[in-house]
Every structure is written in C-alpha cells, then in structure tokens.
Amino acid sequence: MGSFAYFPHTGEDIRSMLDRCGVNSLDDLYSDVPADFIYKDEYDLDPAMSEQEVREYFEALGRKNVALTVFAGAGAYDHYAPAVIPAITSRSEFLTAYTPYQCEISQGTLRYIFEFQSMICALTGLDVANASMYDGATSAAEAMRLCIASTRAKDTVLVSSTLLPSVLAVVRTYAKWGGIKLVGIPEKDGQTDIGALALLLGSNAVAGAILPQVNRYGIVENHMGAADALHASGALLVEYCDPSVLAVVKTPAEWGADVACGDGQSLGIPLCYGGPYVGFMACRTEHMRKMPGRIVGQTVDGAGRRCYVLTLQAREQHIRREKATSNICSNQSLMALWVTVYLSLMGPQGMKRVNDLCFERSHYLKDSLMSTGLFEDPFPKATFVKEFALKPLVPVESLQQKLLDNGFFGALSDENSYVTFAATEKRTVAQIDALVDVVKSMKA
C-alpha cells in the first residue's frame, strides 16, 4: 500500500489497525458476508491512471466535441458568467461541505441560502422561497404535487401545452406514478388559451394549473384572468418562470400566482450539457408548510447574535417519512450559491442590462432571419425577450445541418414544424450576421 494518493494507509498502519480490531486480515472484516458474494474476479476497469494521464485523457476526450456557437434555448440559455462566480463557488469551504446540519460551523452555507431565498422572493414577488431543487422540470413536478397537497380532495392539475417539452415530460412522469391526473390546456396564437383554461374548471377536481411565464416559443405570456378563474374554483396558479426574464416582466405575484417555480440556469450557470442547474420554488405564505425541500430561517444564538438554521423541518422526509411533502433530501446548494453570487454582481441594473441586450440581439436576429425570405413568422404580435419561433420554408433538417456544419447550434425543431432560435447578451452582432449568412446561402 501507500501507492495511491487518496489512501493514506501504510502496510504498518493496516497491521496495527487490524490488531486493534482483533482480526487478522482485511478480508476478515467481511466474515459476516456470505463467501459466494465476495467478488473474486478482476474488476473490469481500466488500469489506474496517473493524474497527468487523466488530465490528458480528458483533454483528448474534450476535443471530440464540436465547439458550437449556441443560438438555441429550450430552457437552457448561454448567458455570460462573470469570473467572480467560479472563484467563489470553487472555495473548498463551500465546495466540500455537507448539508448545513451543524449550523454552528455552517453559517456560510446557511447565510447564502437565506440570501438565495430572499433573491428568489425579490424576483418572483412571492412571500417564501425554498433552498432550491434539482432543476426546473422537477420544480414544476413538485409544484404540481403542492397543488394537490394544498387543496382538499382534488386530483387534477392543468398543464399548459406551451410549457417546455422537457418540463412537461418530467411533470408527466411524476403525475403518472403519483396518481395525479393531468389535463392539457390548449394554446392559441402561441400562448396558453386562458379562455380554454376557464372552461376546464367546470368540474371541482382541479387543484391547480401550471402556466409558463415565458413559453416554449419564447413568448412572454399574458395571464390576465387566469388567477381569478382558478381561485374562484379553489385551484392554485403556478407560474413556470425564466428567472432572468423575471427582472423585467410581470412577476408571478403580479399575475396573482400562488406558486412560482423554474430553473435558475439562466442566471449565469454554464450550459454544461444540461447540468447541474438549479430549480427554485416560491409561494405565498399560506402554502409554506406544504412546500417541498429545505428552508433556511433566521434566528439568534445564546449570545443574541443573528444566525441561520434549517427550519420548518417537520415537512421533510427525515421527520415525516412517507407523509413528507416530498422525498427530496438535498438541494442544489452550490448552484444556488452560483445564482446568488450572480445576482449580487448583476444587481437590478445588471439584470435590466442583460434583458435589454437579449432583447436587442434576439430581435435583430429575428428581423435578419425574416429578411432572408426563408421563414414565416407564426406569432407576429407576440412579445419575446431572447427566444422566438419561426416557421421555416426550407427543410428543417437541412437547415439544422447547415448551421451545424458552420459551427452554429440553433433552429431547434418541434412537432409543430416550428424552429426556435435564442440570442442572449453573449451573442455578438458579428455572430448573428454570420449565422444569417449561412441561412441565406440556402436560398436557391
């Protein structure tokens, strides 16, 4: 022994420790395991690599990916992440800590979670936020469960068909096995049809509805009347949000929502092939005790100093077991820190600037694409901030391939034969022009 960097034991250590344990060999420590379960073959793993070999291996592996300029969204956006963020989140006091159960030596984690909760409340306008969840899609699934838990004897949740497909897929999975009925709300002009929603409330079974504040086409939806209709039949309004865009558009609270959820990825988290991201959830105070996940609260210590603890834990699985509001037992804490640092850096002015730039770039992109004559605009009156849908007049697959061949990722297609493009503040006019040139080359 002693030849592996992560195992500190010398041969002498092992011998003296075995003596203390009163056994002769390491295998004797497994004397309670039936002998035929002890794996005797060579493990089918590669030989150990040195650290240098590991680094070179991954560098080579990374080169097998094609670097693309991202003009795609669909719930994952290429926003700029300031250099401060990784410098903070890589601090090992944050990185290598466990859940802050021992609050006396976890005030750092607890305090930034409290700040995260406060910022989510500021963005959504709602009263209470939790310490974060796995991702946006699971936060929507948990919001669906909250609707059922917060209303009595109701078993149905309405879901807008303009929610992101990736979110709908996860919500459907949770609903299927959780015994919750889902009913789709149709779309009209690229937005949730609020009139149709009201008609679906006829039966008394509806516990809530999940509507996207920015939808799968990038459209900022108008939810006028939704909350009133839902509340009149004892159901909750859940808004699925892009928290970056929330800095400038009407908040869930302003729409009268009871719950807001979504993915914090748009707050500067790298795309990283889909994770880790961070889900969030906020609600009105009356639903606080039905909320899933950890919550940090403020209190004082014996000397009267302000400090923070995990609180309202009687909702959670380690206390309530099968009666818990959710099975979630962790949060995406480090990603919540990422978002908290991002919002601290951006402030209200930075968040406005990001949205202004996204708006300018995406509108410039859309106008330029329309001017090629190769698209129709299915939703000309819609408001969008960074993502939009077009109907291509060229074959979708060749459009997508052409873009890939030229180093662009965009024109995500859906079953309605629309394609979506997104342009964040990171996309330059030169990049946009280059993409449009590629599209233009498809004329003829």
Residue of 147, 425, 431, 432 interacting with another protein (CB under 8 A): 425
CA angle centred on 114, ends 112 and 120, rounded to 5°: 100
Interface of this chain with another protein, residues 186 to 205, rule: CB under 8 A: none
Nearer to another protein, 94 or 368 (CB): 94
For another protein, the closer of residues 305 and 443 by Cβ is 305
Interacting stretch for another protein, rule CB under 8 A, among 89-97, 185-193, 230-238, 371-379? 89-97
154 lies in the site for another protein, by CB under 8 A:
no
Nearer to another protein, 92 or 415 (CB): 92
Task: Determine if 119 is a binding residue for another protein (CB under 8 A).
Answer: yes
- Output the six-digit token pair for 192: 């949730």
Dist. CA 439–CA 360, nearest whole Å: 20
Q: Does 11 bind another protein (CB under 8 A)?
A: no
Looking at residue 66, the DSSP 8-state letter turns out to be P
Residue 398 engages another protein in binding (rule: CB under 8 A): no
Using CB under 8 A, which of 11, 24, 49, 242 touches another protein?
A: 49
Q: Which is nearer to another protein, 288 or 442 (CB)?
A: 288
| Minimum CB distance to another protein smaller for 200 or for 279 | 279
Binding mask 205-224 for another protein (x = CB under 8 A): ---------------x-x-x
Binding of another protein by 24 (CB under 8 A): no
Interacting positions 310-329 with another protein (CB under 8 A)? 311-314, 316-324, 326-329
Q: Which helix (H) or strand (E) holds 309?
A: strand 306-310
DSSP 64: T
Residue number, 22 or 202, with CB nearest to another protein? 22
Angle between helices 429-440 and 396-405 (to 10 degrees): 130
Find the binding residues for another protein in span 364-393 (CB under 8 A): 383, 385
Work out how close the CB of 163 gets to another protein at its nearest, in angstroms, rounded to a whole number.
Answer: 11
* Sign of the alpha-carbon dihedral angle for 398, 399, 401, 405: positive
Chosen residue from 42, 153, 202, 430 binding another protein by CB under 8 A: 42
Dihedral sign (CA 174, 336, 116, 109): positive
Count other Cβ atoms within 10 Å, centred on residue 436: 17
* Residue 182 touches another protein, criterion: CB under 8 A: no
Of the pair 7, 444, the CB lying nearest another protein is at 7
* Cα distance between the two ends of the chain: 69
CB of 115 to another protein, least distance (A): 5
Dist. CA 187–CA 212, nearest whole Å: 12
Residue 167 interacts with another protein (CB under 8 A): yes or no = yes
430 near another protein, judged by CB under 8 A: no
> Site map for another protein, 235-274, x if CB under 8 A?
-----------xxxxxx--x--------x------xxxxx
Find, among 410, 351, 344, 418, the residue nearest to 385 by Cα. 351
Q: Are strands 419-422 and 181-185 parallel, antiparallel or unpaired?
A: unpaired
228 binds another protein (CB under 8 A): no
**14 vs 4, 10, 32, 107, CA distance in Å?**
14, 6, 20, 37
CB of 276 to another protein, least distance (A): 3
Q: Which residue has the tokens 């609260």?
A: 297
Q: How far is the CB of 193 from another protein (least distance, A)?
A: 17
Instruction: Give the strand order in the sheet containing 128-129.
Output: 128-129, 279-283, 259-263, 236-241, 206-212, 156-160, 181-185
